[in-house]
Amino acid sequence: MTRDLGPLRAVVDLAGELIRRPSRAGLDAHEPVLVVLDVWLTGRGLPHRRLHDDTRRPVAQLVEIAGGGPGPGGRWTPV
């Protein structure tokens, strides 16, 4: 029997996609993982941008997550 995950299904599917991408630190390129994140974030209208190292290789993704509490209306969080 498969459990209905409702809105969590998208996150579970994202995790599965990320797990299928090679991502060994220091061995694999970041690009395949960042592409998966880019597509997922874009599909949900979440503001994001890539960070690059000094040689212009992509190394991380920044995501704006707007909060409802006190302080700035949003913040950039590395993923």
Residue 36 belongs to some domain of the structure: yes
Looking up tokens 């797990």 gives: 19
Residue 25 belongs to some domain of the structure: yes
Q: How far apart are CA 12 and CA 26, in angstroms?
A: 26
Q: Tell me the backbone φ, ψ of residue 54, rounded to 5 degrees.
A: -65, -20
Residue 73 belongs to some domain of the structure: yes
Q: Residue 13 sits in which domain range? A: 6-78
First-last CA distance in the chain: 33
Per-residue pLDDT tens for 22-55? 888 889 888 999 999 999 999 988 889 999 999 9
* Pair of tokens at residue 30: 């970041």
Partner residues linked to 66 by β-bridges: 74
Residue 1 belongs to some domain of the structure: no
Q: What total number of domains does the chain contain?
A: 1
List of long-range contacts for 37-45, beta carbons under 8 Å, 24+ apart: 37/61, 37/79, 40/10, 40/14, 44/10
* pLDDT of the residue at 68: 66
Residue 21 belongs to some domain of the structure: yes
